[in-house]
Amino acid sequence: MSTDEDYLKKTGKGTRSVHSGTSPGENSLNTPVYQSSTFFLDDEAYEMWKAGTPRAPVYTRYNNPSMRAVEKKIAHLEGAEDALVFTSGMSAICTTLLTFLSQGDRIVTTRNLYGGTVLSLDQDFTRFGIDVHYIDIKDLDAVEEALKEKKTNVLYCETVNNPLLEVSDLPELAKLAKKYGAIPIVDSTFATPMGCQPLDYGFEVVIHSVTKLLNGHSDIIGGAVAGNKEIINQIWYKLRNFGGTMDPHQASLLERGIKTLHIRYEKAMTTASQLATWLEAHPKIEKVLYPGLESHNDYELAKKVLNSPSTMVCFEVKGGDEAGRKLMDNMIIASQAISLGGVESLISMPFSTTHVSWTQEARLAAGIGLGFIRFSTGIEDTEDLIADFKQALDRL
């Protein structure tokens, strides 16, 4: 590792966001887009390919300088030894889990996850003969009982879950996983490295949908995983086999997006905190879910695990789902869309998007009440977003 990389590892996250990984070409400030499917073979490349060494520089599915630049940036931000980028967040999740799970193996997790993850676990992982065991990840006694009752290969959770914004007790979960020989893996998309670095708490793999906050411009799909080099190399072999390799141009856009992550995150998080406080006091709002509010069940845990609350605000509108739909239709600045983490504010309702396949009974049991809205705070002026909510609520 170069002296420059060693130096950058000791700098702040903002500095790492801008400079880590960037690999300029001849007389170029930025990393070039290596839009090439294949590369010239030399003795080193032949030897690496023959030996099956990860990232042989022969073919973009194996390695590409544009991808390596952004992988190093993500690794530095997470405090990891290495990272990989994928075509999508789901590709990152499935490839990673299938690295450590085979027929007859077991994963202990929770249903309070991103809807796409639950769908894949229910429809595909069970079909592969993998035992998917759901528990309440907030109940540490239940987690330990599940890990103790049967050999478990993976313990999986989200740092801040989707959409209830519950915070996982990462330090305690990591201890339990290691006590019973499971690999602790966490999806930290909502938190980002700005809000939390799960590897510091003992987790071995951290996953991101870079589609969201890391890229932050709603213009690419992608995923990433970070961890120690040995684990990342294991995942690389499955990435090579399954083929979910990120495109060089996609990687270039992601690297550009991450360069502003620290200022985008700080702005959106500050606005989200003010908006959550304002919504909680509004008479047409039933309740607000935000880890930075004292009313949140995980307020104290959030202070322990997170560096900052969240850029997401969830709340329930009085009047149920119909009132929620009307509120969204009344919004002028915020747009209805299912993604999150972009520079523009986005609003959606889980019952008609991420959890549309769930029954109302199942949603209510999970804590997703009637009129539940998920709001992804952008970087617009705070006072304009609050004014937009005011006029939208006034028209209900």
Catalytic residues: 61, 114, 187, 212
Rg (CA), the chain: 21
Six token digits for residue 142 = 């239940």
Q: Are 98 and 238 in contact (CB under 8 A)?
A: yes
Choose among 176, 184, 103, 191: nearest CA to 142: 176
How many of the other CB atoms lie within 10 Å of CB of 240?
19
SS3 of the chain: the string is: CCHHHHHHHCCCHHHHHHHCCCCCCCCCCCCCCCCCCECCCCHHHHHHHHHCCCCCCCECCCCCHHHHHHHHHHHHHHCCCEEEEECCHHHHHHHHHHHHCCCCCEEEECCCCCHHHHHHHHHHHCCCCCEEEECCCCCHHHHHHHHHHCCCCEEEEECECCCCCCECCHHHHHHHHHHCCCEEEEECCCCHHHHCCHHHHCCCEEEEECCCCCCCCCCCCCEEEEECHHHHHHHHHHHHHHCCECCHHHHHHHHHHHCCHHHHHHHHHHHHHHHHHHHHCCCCEEEEECCCCCCCCCHHHHHHHCCCCCCEEEEEECCHHHHHHHHHHHCCCCEECCCCCCCCCEEECHHHCCCCCCCHHHHHHHCCCCCEEEEECCCCCHHHHHHHHHHHHHCC
Closest CA to 309 of 320, 294, 319, 321: 294
